[in-house]
Amino acid sequence: GIGLATAALFARSGATVAINDLPDNPSLERAVAELKQEGLSVQAAPADIGQPEEARAMVRQAAERLGRLDYLVNNAATANTDRPIPLSDLDGIDEAFWSKVLGLNLVGPFRCTQAAAGYLRQARGAVVNTASSAAFGAPGSSLAYAASKAALVNLTRNLARALAPEVRVNAVAPGLIRTPWTRRFGQEWEELSVRQTCLKRPGTPEDIAEVMLFLCAGGAYLTGQTLLVDGGMG
Protein backbone atom coordinates (compact mmCIF):
# COMPACT_ATOMS: atom_id res chain seq x y z
CA GLY A 1 0.00 0.00 0.00
CA ILE A 2 1.22 3.46 0.97
CA GLY A 3 4.49 2.19 2.44
CA LEU A 4 5.59 0.30 -0.66
CA ALA A 5 4.57 3.14 -2.99
CA THR A 6 6.56 5.59 -0.87
CA ALA A 7 9.63 3.37 -0.71
CA ALA A 8 9.50 2.90 -4.48
CA LEU A 9 9.13 6.63 -5.19
CA PHE A 10 12.03 7.54 -2.90
CA ALA A 11 14.23 4.87 -4.50
CA ARG A 12 13.29 5.97 -8.03
CA SER A 13 14.16 9.53 -7.00
CA GLY A 14 17.70 8.43 -6.11
CA ALA A 15 17.50 7.51 -2.43
CA THR A 16 18.85 4.36 -0.85
CA VAL A 17 15.89 2.94 1.08
CA ALA A 18 15.52 0.50 3.96
CA ILE A 19 12.00 -0.96 3.92
CA ASN A 20 10.44 -2.15 7.16
CA ASP A 21 7.77 -4.83 7.51
CA LEU A 22 7.06 -7.70 9.86
CA PRO A 23 9.82 -10.34 9.90
CA ASP A 24 7.42 -13.13 8.90
CA ASN A 25 5.80 -11.25 5.99
CA PRO A 26 6.97 -12.83 2.70
CA SER A 27 5.88 -9.75 0.76
CA LEU A 28 8.83 -7.81 2.21
CA GLU A 29 11.53 -9.88 0.50
CA ARG A 30 9.41 -10.07 -2.65
CA ALA A 31 9.03 -6.28 -2.78
CA VAL A 32 12.74 -5.72 -2.18
CA ALA A 33 13.63 -8.21 -4.92
CA GLU A 34 11.27 -6.57 -7.42
CA LEU A 35 12.64 -3.10 -6.73
CA LYS A 36 16.20 -4.35 -7.03
CA GLN A 37 15.33 -5.76 -10.44
CA GLU A 38 14.60 -2.17 -11.47
CA GLY A 39 18.15 -1.31 -10.47
CA LEU A 40 17.02 0.52 -7.36
CA SER A 41 19.00 0.68 -4.11
CA VAL A 42 16.75 -0.91 -1.49
CA GLN A 43 17.17 -3.30 1.41
CA ALA A 44 14.91 -5.09 3.88
CA ALA A 45 14.65 -3.92 7.49
CA PRO A 46 12.34 -6.47 9.12
CA ALA A 47 10.98 -5.76 12.60
CA ASP A 48 7.75 -5.47 14.56
CA ILE A 49 7.69 -1.84 15.64
CA GLY A 50 5.04 -2.73 18.18
CA GLN A 51 7.89 -4.31 20.16
CA PRO A 52 10.05 -1.60 21.82
CA GLU A 53 13.56 -3.03 21.51
CA GLU A 54 12.88 -4.59 18.13
CA ALA A 55 11.78 -1.22 16.73
CA ARG A 56 14.77 0.66 18.09
CA ALA A 57 17.26 -2.00 16.96
CA MET A 58 15.78 -1.97 13.46
CA VAL A 59 16.29 1.78 13.10
CA ARG A 60 19.85 1.69 14.43
CA GLN A 61 20.85 -1.24 12.24
CA ALA A 62 19.27 0.29 9.14
CA ALA A 63 21.05 3.61 9.70
CA GLU A 64 24.36 1.85 10.18
CA ARG A 65 23.92 -0.20 7.00
CA LEU A 66 22.88 2.87 5.02
CA GLY A 67 25.78 4.89 6.38
CA ARG A 68 23.49 7.79 7.33
CA LEU A 69 19.80 8.53 7.77
CA ASP A 70 18.22 11.53 6.10
CA TYR A 71 14.53 10.69 6.28
CA LEU A 72 12.26 8.55 8.42
CA VAL A 73 8.73 7.70 7.27
CA ASN A 74 6.62 6.25 10.09
CA ASN A 75 3.94 4.44 8.13
CA ALA A 76 3.42 1.11 9.95
CA ALA A 77 -0.02 0.91 11.55
CA THR A 78 -2.95 -1.37 12.20
CA ALA A 79 -6.73 -1.12 12.16
CA ASN A 80 -6.77 -4.39 14.13
CA THR A 81 -10.11 -5.28 12.53
CA ASP A 82 -11.39 -6.67 9.24
CA ARG A 83 -14.55 -4.58 9.39
CA PRO A 84 -15.32 -1.05 10.54
CA ILE A 85 -16.51 -1.05 14.14
CA PRO A 86 -19.40 1.42 14.65
CA LEU A 87 -18.72 4.15 17.19
CA SER A 88 -21.73 2.99 19.16
CA ASP A 89 -20.28 -0.51 19.59
CA LEU A 90 -18.25 0.19 22.71
CA ASP A 91 -18.18 -3.49 23.60
CA GLY A 92 -16.45 -4.21 20.30
CA ILE A 93 -13.25 -2.66 21.62
CA ASP A 94 -11.56 -4.27 24.61
CA GLU A 95 -8.32 -3.55 26.48
CA ALA A 96 -6.25 -5.78 24.21
CA PHE A 97 -7.61 -3.94 21.15
CA TRP A 98 -6.65 -0.56 22.59
CA SER A 99 -3.20 -1.81 23.56
CA LYS A 100 -2.38 -3.12 20.09
CA VAL A 101 -3.70 -0.09 18.22
CA LEU A 102 -2.00 2.48 20.44
CA GLY A 103 1.22 0.47 20.72
CA LEU A 104 1.67 0.30 16.96
CA ASN A 105 -0.03 3.46 15.67
CA LEU A 106 1.15 5.93 18.32
CA VAL A 107 4.01 4.57 20.41
CA GLY A 108 5.61 2.84 17.40
CA PRO A 109 6.35 6.11 15.57
CA PHE A 110 7.75 7.57 18.79
CA ARG A 111 10.07 4.57 19.26
CA CYS A 112 11.40 4.82 15.72
CA THR A 113 11.83 8.59 15.88
CA GLN A 114 13.58 8.34 19.23
CA ALA A 115 16.04 5.80 17.80
CA ALA A 116 16.58 7.86 14.64
CA ALA A 117 16.93 11.28 16.30
CA GLY A 118 20.72 11.39 16.48
CA TYR A 119 21.18 10.33 12.86
CA LEU A 120 18.52 12.77 11.66
CA ARG A 121 20.02 15.67 13.57
CA GLN A 122 23.40 14.97 12.01
CA ALA A 123 21.84 14.91 8.52
CA ARG A 124 19.46 17.82 9.24
CA GLY A 125 16.78 15.49 7.98
CA ALA A 126 13.03 15.02 8.28
CA VAL A 127 10.36 12.73 9.70
CA VAL A 128 6.96 12.10 8.15
CA ASN A 129 4.23 10.31 10.10
CA THR A 130 1.16 8.70 8.54
CA ALA A 131 -1.90 10.02 10.36
CA SER A 132 -5.44 9.74 8.95
CA SER A 133 -8.44 11.85 8.07
CA ALA A 134 -10.07 9.92 10.92
CA ALA A 135 -8.03 12.13 13.24
CA PHE A 136 -10.20 15.05 12.11
CA GLY A 137 -13.61 13.39 12.33
CA ALA A 138 -13.82 11.37 9.10
CA PRO A 139 -15.20 7.83 9.42
CA GLY A 140 -12.45 5.51 10.54
CA SER A 141 -12.22 1.80 11.15
CA SER A 142 -12.88 2.24 14.87
CA LEU A 143 -13.01 4.72 17.73
CA ALA A 144 -9.60 3.47 18.90
CA TYR A 145 -8.01 3.87 15.47
CA ALA A 146 -9.29 7.45 15.13
CA ALA A 147 -8.04 8.30 18.62
CA SER A 148 -4.60 6.86 17.87
CA LYS A 149 -4.30 8.97 14.73
CA ALA A 150 -5.50 12.12 16.47
CA ALA A 151 -2.84 11.54 19.11
CA LEU A 152 -0.27 11.07 16.34
CA VAL A 153 -1.13 14.53 14.99
CA ASN A 154 -0.37 15.96 18.43
CA LEU A 155 2.81 13.87 18.70
CA THR A 156 3.92 15.19 15.32
CA ARG A 157 3.59 18.79 16.49
CA ASN A 158 5.50 18.14 19.70
CA LEU A 159 8.25 16.08 18.04
CA ALA A 160 8.76 19.01 15.68
CA ARG A 161 9.42 21.20 18.70
CA ALA A 162 11.58 18.57 20.37
CA LEU A 163 13.85 18.01 17.35
CA ALA A 164 14.03 21.62 16.14
CA PRO A 165 15.86 23.27 14.59
CA GLU A 166 17.82 20.44 12.97
CA VAL A 167 14.97 18.08 12.09
CA ARG A 168 11.59 18.82 10.55
CA VAL A 169 8.63 16.62 11.58
CA ASN A 170 5.34 16.59 9.67
CA ALA A 171 2.50 14.19 8.96
CA VAL A 172 0.20 13.21 6.13
CA ALA A 173 -3.46 12.46 6.91
CA PRO A 174 -4.82 10.33 4.06
CA GLY A 175 -8.51 9.95 3.36
CA LEU A 176 -9.74 6.78 1.69
CA ILE A 177 -6.80 5.19 -0.11
CA ARG A 178 -7.46 2.08 -2.17
CA THR A 179 -5.06 -0.51 -0.77
CA PRO A 180 -5.25 -4.22 0.10
CA TRP A 181 -5.90 -3.07 3.67
CA THR A 182 -8.96 -0.91 2.89
CA ARG A 183 -10.42 -3.42 0.42
CA ARG A 184 -11.18 -5.65 3.41
CA PHE A 185 -13.83 -3.17 4.52
CA GLY A 186 -15.88 -3.78 1.37
CA GLN A 187 -17.12 -1.94 -1.71
CA GLU A 188 -20.01 -0.24 0.10
CA TRP A 189 -17.62 1.41 2.58
CA GLU A 190 -15.43 2.66 -0.27
CA GLU A 191 -18.36 4.01 -2.27
CA LEU A 192 -19.69 5.88 0.77
CA SER A 193 -16.29 7.48 1.33
CA VAL A 194 -15.85 8.42 -2.34
CA ARG A 195 -19.26 10.14 -2.46
CA GLN A 196 -18.04 12.48 0.27
CA THR A 197 -15.00 13.68 -1.72
CA CYS A 198 -14.75 16.56 -4.19
CA LEU A 199 -12.61 14.52 -6.58
CA LYS A 200 -15.05 11.57 -6.62
CA ARG A 201 -12.41 8.87 -6.58
CA PRO A 202 -10.48 6.92 -3.98
CA GLY A 203 -6.91 7.97 -3.44
CA THR A 204 -4.01 5.81 -4.54
CA PRO A 205 -0.88 4.93 -2.58
CA GLU A 206 1.06 6.98 -5.14
CA ASP A 207 -1.01 10.07 -4.26
CA ILE A 208 0.24 9.83 -0.68
CA ALA A 209 3.81 8.90 -1.67
CA GLU A 210 4.09 12.18 -3.60
CA VAL A 211 3.23 14.16 -0.48
CA MET A 212 5.65 12.09 1.63
CA LEU A 213 8.46 12.90 -0.81
CA PHE A 214 7.60 16.60 -0.76
CA LEU A 215 7.63 16.74 3.04
CA CYS A 216 11.03 15.06 3.18
CA ALA A 217 12.94 16.46 0.21
CA GLY A 218 11.07 19.77 0.01
CA GLY A 219 9.00 21.90 2.36
CA ALA A 220 12.10 23.39 3.95
CA TYR A 221 10.11 25.86 6.09
CA LEU A 222 7.36 23.43 7.03
CA THR A 223 7.37 21.61 10.36
CA GLY A 224 4.86 20.46 12.96
CA GLN A 225 2.11 20.31 10.34
CA THR A 226 -0.33 17.62 9.23
CA LEU A 227 -1.42 17.77 5.59
CA LEU A 228 -4.92 16.41 4.97
CA VAL A 229 -4.80 14.50 1.68
CA ASP A 230 -8.37 13.26 1.28
CA GLY A 231 -9.62 14.36 -2.14
CA GLY A 232 -11.58 17.21 -0.58
CA MET A 233 -13.74 15.11 1.72
CA GLY A 234 -16.55 17.24 3.08
* Catalytically active residues, by annotation: 145
Q: Are 211 and 126 in contact (CB under 8 A)?
A: no
Contacts of 110 (CB under 8 A, 6+ apart): 155, 159
Report how far residue 78's alpha carbon sits from residue 205's, in angstroms, rounded to the nearest whole number.
Answer: 16
Report how far residue 20's alpha carbon sits from residue 3's, in angstroms, rounded to the nearest whole number.
Answer: 9
Give strand pairing partners of 171: 129, 226
Q: Are 226 and 173 in contact (CB under 8 A)?
A: yes
Q: Work out whether the CA dihedral 57, 146, 72, 109 comes out positive or negative.
A: negative
Peptide bond into 46 cis (omega under 30): no
Q: What single letter denotes the amino acid at residue 41?
A: S
